[in-house]
Amino acid sequence: MTINPLWRQITKLEQKIEATMSEDPRPGFIENMYGSFDREDLTKQVLALYEELVGTSPNDEYARYRRAGALARANRLREALGEYRKVFGSHRSALVMAAMMELALGDRDAAQRTLDVHNARCIAEGVPIMQATLEKITLRRD
């Protein structure tokens, strides 16, 4: 199996984003979903690479899952939610992430319904310890 070379570029950019994150807003930085700030130029680059990756491999659910994470980090929660919904079947954690997006967007009822599906799946798959609650998935910006 050949690994798409875009993954190497994406990994390097994501590491650079983490390394240059700031706790204070500065010119050229955008707020991420955690309440910190990422370099806008790097964020745009990594999202463009994910777009290219998903465009060349539209059935690669892992690429979509990771793209959703990048969108969420960039505070593009509605877009992230859409991507997470596309991979519910193959990534149980996508259900939790979707619920997190729904909750952050103010739809507590939808978040609970999504968690109910996740929790039922955890029980059915024999991993009840992986169940989640709204309290556990609430983004805290301290």
Tell me which residue of 62, 117, 106, 109 sits closest to 86, measured CA to CA: 62
Residue 1 in domain: no
Is 81 inside any structural domain? yes
For the entire predicted model, the pTM comes to: 0.90
For 68-125, the pLDDT digits (tens) are 999 999 999 999 999 999 998 888 899 999 999 999 999 999 999 999 999 999 999 9
pLDDT digits (tens, 9 = 90+) for 3-54: 889 999 999 999 999 999 999 988 999 999 888 999 999 999 999 999 999 9
Q: Which domain holds residue 32?
A: 6-137
**70 occurs within a structural domain:** yes
Domain count, the chain: 1
- Residue 41 sits in a domain whose CATH number is 1.25.40.10
* Spatial separation of the C-alpha atoms in residues 37 and 22, rounded to whole Å: 5
